[in-house]
Amino acid sequence: MTWDASTAWWATAGVLVVLELASGTFYLLMLALGAAFGALAAHAGLAFPAQLISAAGVGGSAVVFWHLRRARRPADAPVAANPDLQIDIGATVRVTHWGADGRTRVHYRGAPWDARHAGPGLPQPGDHVVEAVQGNVLVLRPDSPR
């Protein structure tokens, strides 16, 4: 069995896709896209150097494009303070008193929770907003008036 150039390019693209699925590295998918363009160049009857240039050009450009796009995107919030991962962030709780160490117990979602004050100054009783969740401790900041 002999392979022509397009078959080798398609096999390379397939191997890169499998490696991407195994590793989760999105950049390998961009390189697979480049290999697919190399296969299309082979189907078009271009010589091997032209196939290689098209594969490297498309794959390399896609990698650079996605790298720059990701670098411009703002960084995700830490897990403890990411509202996409913590459903409690932004919830309002009422604090009746604070301990001298800036900690308290609050009743939230039908259960008592440990909480600590986040922010400058002395904590005051009143409504507070959950800013983060660290383990089983709510991190609270004073609720700003609306």
- 108 DSSP assignment: E
Beta strand segments in 19-125, E:
92-95, 103-108, 111-117
Structure tokens of 96?
A: 């009746």
Write the single-letter amino acid at 45.
G
Task: Give pTM, 2 decimals.
Answer: 0.56
Domains of the chain: 5-72 (no CATH), 79-142 (2.40.50.140)
Element (H, E) at 137: strand 137-142
Position 145 scores a pLDDT of 64
**Residue listed under structure tokens 């009422």:** 94
How do the pLDDT tens digits run along the chain, 146 residues long?
678 999 999 999 999 999 999 998 889 999 999 999 999 999 999 999 999 999 999 999 999 999 999 889 887 777 777 777 778 888 999 999 998 888 999 999 899 999 999 877 788 899 999 998 888 899 999 887 65
Position 86 scores a pLDDT of 79
Position 83 scores a pLDDT of 76
Residue 9 CB-density burial (10 A; 0-12 exposed, 13-18 middle, 19+ buried): buried
Position 119 scores a pLDDT of 75
Position 1 scores a pLDDT of 62
Residue 54 contacts residue 37 (beta carbons within 8 Å): yes
Position 82 scores a pLDDT of 75
